[in-house]
Structure 1
Amino acid sequence: MTLRTDWISALAAFESAARHQNFAHAAEELHLTASAVSHHVRKLEAQLGVALFQRHARGVSLTAEGRQLADAASSAIASMDDVMRGLRDAREERDRVRITTLHSLTYTWLVPRLPRFTAAHPHIRLNVDTEVALTRFEEGGPDLGIRYGQGHWPGLTAHHLMDDALFPVASPTLAGIHGVHEAADVAKLPLISDLSLQGWQDWFRAADVRGARLDERYTFSDTTDALNGAVHGLGAVLAREQIAVPYLADGRLVRLPGPSMPTRFGYYVVYPAHRRLRPAARAFVDWVLKQPGQPA
């Protein structure tokens, strides 16, 4: 016997009624009336020529034939539900992009721009990981990353995103800031460092300041923490141009006298050279590579 499409709703009503052993509860689950559920069941019984339920004053109970059909219907619905869930999960996985990037860049540069990406690609879901350690691009791991370096990593394709520069900044309320009029005066302030390969010694050399005794009072492993230390008046910090923008824009930090020193490194979008990017990941790469020329 071929399963006709007009039997589907009747089977769904029957399966729910069989599971609940109650037409009213099945009706509530299916957003129908109890009489509609009863109608579907009677229609199925008429088509099959057997009684599926025994009706009695306390409610209904399955007949032997009803139990047989209920087991088959329940198994079939569970199988279809599993397949449909798998198809839905596979689609969601295709539309998910896993990104590993730098915490400082994410907070100040990437996140303010992400609404623009979402507007252009509303179906794509992003997982953003800001682990400090270099992430391995293994199966099941991130699709791509944004790294800071010279642009050469074994096994990775690297696209140049943007360069950067370093200059000193401090809170406008930092004690002694009003006496800073030239680059040499910055050395009179307490200094904050991070673990970047270019630091205060490099900057003072670029500023042609010689022999200054530097009070590097605080060192943070994360650039964002170093900037926040400066916001709270701990001292002056060397800020990366791309990361300092929101701090300068809202006045939490001000730029101090002295040159802007180009960094020896830049930002790169990277992904495994041997792995073809999925369309969702390719869409993100194409989008993010256009962002350096766009305001946040």
Structure 2
Amino acid sequence: MDRNLGTPGLAFMKMHGLGNDFVVIDRRAGGPAVTPALARALGDRHRGVGFDQLAVIDRDADADAALTFFNADGSLSSACGNATRCIARFLMDETGSQALRLRTERGVLIAEDAGGGLTRVNMGVPLLAWDQVPLAQAMDTLHLPIAGDPVATGMGNPHCTFFVEDAEAVDLERLGPEYEHHPLYPQRTNVEFVQVLSRDEIRLRIWERGTGITLASGSCSCAAAVAAARRGLTGRRVTVRVDGGVLEIDWREDGVWMTGPTAHVFDGTLSVAWLETLG
């Protein structure tokens, strides 16, 4: 379906997964390229639309669709789990399919209807070697030489996971940007603070690379669950409680599966006049 047919400007959708919100631009029928400048302008919650990530849907010869993700600062993100689930739900509703293959920079991800209005996606096998995360030099990713003894994990994007006694007491605004730009992470990093509630439940608070504090994050939830399991603090299947709600993470042999709700909030159109201000 051409979402721009007969409509001036640029059509978009607003979606969220547990308050982790996205602008989605569907380019399967064509349309202008999405640039970092457009992503930054759209991401401004006062002068644009506002989002945690921007997702672009394109056609793909060997998958149901190809997805590209931008952070609010205009930088590219290789993975965005909640946006992948939201778009998968949109495409499954559109086509009537129960499962999809979606190409991302992370590779081709499998998404499925999990029943009860929930959608799950396989975020792929976690990357545990230092050069896969990536880190700046060779080291044990299970115990980084950073105060607080965090764990490094790659989920197609880099993660730094701290285990704390009280996640609510963490000063995210101060610590998030400090660790995002830590010199051990040449591509910057997402930062997670995890409180282990039981062998099958964790509390998670999130600072996303290029965006800041978010209510939820799929890749961060996966990385936190993997880090907790590697440390022996939980099993490989856990409930993750984020600020925006609950995700179920299951680290299987074929990858890390994430299940949760999605919401398609509204459709809109960026005006020609606003687009022209971008040059």
The structure whose residues are more often helix, as a share, is 1
The structure whose residues are more often strand, as a share, is 2
TM-score between the two structures when normalised by the length of structure 1: 0.22
Larger Rg: 1
